[in-house]
Homo-oligomer: A and B are copies of this chain.
Amino acid sequence: MKRIAVLTSGGDAPGMNAAVRAVVRTAAGYGQEVVGVRRGFQGLHQGDMRLLGARDVANTIQRGGTILLTARSHTWRSPEGRAQGAAFLREWGVDGLVVIGGDGSFHGAHYLYQEHGINVIGVPGTIDNDLYGTDHTIGYFTAVETALDAVDKLRDTAASHERIFVVEVMGRHAGHIALDVAVAGGAEEVFLPEEEKHVSSVVEIVQQSVSKGKASSIIIVAEGYPGGALGVAAAIEEGTGFDTRVSILGHIQRGGTPVSSDRILASRLGEAAVHGLIEGRTDVMAGRMNGEIVFTPLSETWEKRKDLNRDLYRCAKNLSV
């Protein structure tokens, strides 16, 4: 192996820079050069790349976003686009590519390997934590912390006004963020995409809560729950007549200085991805499960279902009494 390329793709996630740094420095330790591709697959299609040395990633471990930039690429969906990208990689003498991103990005990587034989390794970089094959994804811990910080702030107002707040957190298909935030934020209830719980159940919960003497409540709703926070709030107001406030946290959950857990996970997985390429692995994702590095076929990362933590779900319910 002579050269390794690295790109970040899809939605940005805190810790992506720590992963890029780990790829560059691990490769440097093996005497390998690293080619940084800008703007994800779109940049790869356009040949927008440059060499990255160990000093080029200095002072980046603490930065949010991605210094390589990212994009959602349309051209990559066509076989011609991918052929063009593969040609650029060969031109630069690259024989292994690390793709940091989510399941869309892993599809792109998978095709590149299938169609052009480029060795690819995925590194899970997405705040949603919705990939099979790793306990956590890079960016997830920071997103939870940002959402929790917002909930703590809203709690001040909820408690002072004795009001109900319905807070919508990110998670289009997965309730991981919502569940963690609910437990850590001491929420009354949580609505997840994975649950079939009907929104009307919130009425009884709120009424019980009031009858127990609770003057204020926080209710967490994952973005992907049908109707979202607005739907839940409407159900409460209609069913109980209580004054309710909605807060949709939105994009702030993507940014910010990564917390330690994301930087450490990114460092471990960036390192593992290079090791994997050197060992001849391809078409797999480097993940961490129960503290150990594991490699999972890319296709399994999106085909297999990562379950919610049921114990935590039960815990959330039990502690909101």
Q: Could you list which residues of chain A lie within 8 angstroms of chain B, going by C-beta atoms? A: 8, 11-12, 14, 21-22, 25-26, 28-29, 39, 54-55, 58-59, 61-66, 69-71, 135, 141, 144-146, 148, 150, 152-157, 159-162, 165, 180-181, 183-186, 212-214, 245, 247-252, 254-257, 259-261, 263-264, 267-268, 271, 290-291, 293, 309, 311-312, 315, 318-321
Partner of A183, one of B26, B156, B249, B264: B264
Nearest to A22 among chain B residues (CB) is: B319
Is there an interface contact between A264 and B180, defined as CB atoms closer than 8 Å?
yes
- How close is A159's CB to chain B, nearest CB, in angstroms? 6
Known: A12-B156, A247-B250, A247-B252. 17 other contacts (CB 8 A): A21-B186, A25-B318, A25-B321, A26-B319, A29-B318, A54-B321, A55-B214, A59-B155, A61-B186, A69-B161, A71-B161, A146-B153, A150-B252, A154-B251, A156-B254, A264-B312, A268-B311
Nearest to A64 among chain B residues (CB) is: B156
Quick one: copies of this chain in the complex? Answer: 4
Assuming the A-B contacts A248-B250, A268-B312, A291-B290, are A157 and B59 also in contact, with contact meaning beta carbons closer than 8 angstroms in the complex? no
Is there an interface contact between B152 and A256, defined as CB atoms closer than 8 Å?
yes
Is there an interface contact between A184 and B264, defined as CB atoms closer than 8 Å?
yes
A-B contact list, 13 entries, CB within 8 Å: A12-B156, A26-B318, A61-B184, A64-B153, A66-B160, A141-B260, A152-B256, A153-B255, A154-B255, A165-B251, A184-B260, A184-B267, A293-B311
Is there an interface contact between B271 and A319, defined as CB atoms closer than 8 Å?
yes
CA distance A66 to B321 in the complex (A): 21
Is there an interface contact between A245 and B255, defined as CB atoms closer than 8 Å?
no
- How close is A192's CB to chain B, nearest CB, in angstroms? 16
Residues from chain B with a CB closer than 8 A to the CB of A319 are: 21-22, 25-26, 267, 271
- How close is A81's CB to chain B, nearest CB, in angstroms? 19
- How close is A216's CB to chain B, nearest CB, in angstroms? 9
Is there an interface contact between B65 and A159, defined as CB atoms closer than 8 Å?
yes
Residues from chain B with a CB closer than 8 A to the CB of A268 are: 311-312, 315
Nearest to A275 among chain B residues (CB) is: B318
Is there an interface contact between B260 and A157, defined as CB atoms closer than 8 Å?
no
Is there an interface contact between B153 and A259, defined as CB atoms closer than 8 Å?
no
Partner of A251, one of B28, B146, B159, B245: B245
Name which of A135, A146, A155 has the most chain B CB atoms within 10 A of its CB: A155
- How close is A24's CB to chain B, nearest CB, in angstroms? 9
Is there an interface contact between B65 and A156, defined as CB atoms closer than 8 Å?
yes
Is there an interface contact between B321 and A29, defined as CB atoms closer than 8 Å?
yes
Residues from chain B with a CB closer than 8 A to the CB of A255 are: 152-157
Residues from chain B with a CB closer than 8 A to the CB of A61 are: 184-186
- How close is A210's CB to chain B, nearest CB, in angstroms? 12
CA distance A4 to B293 in the complex (A): 41
Name which of A65, A254, A311 has the most chain B CB atoms within 10 A of its CB: A65
CA distance A196 to B37 in the complex (A): 42
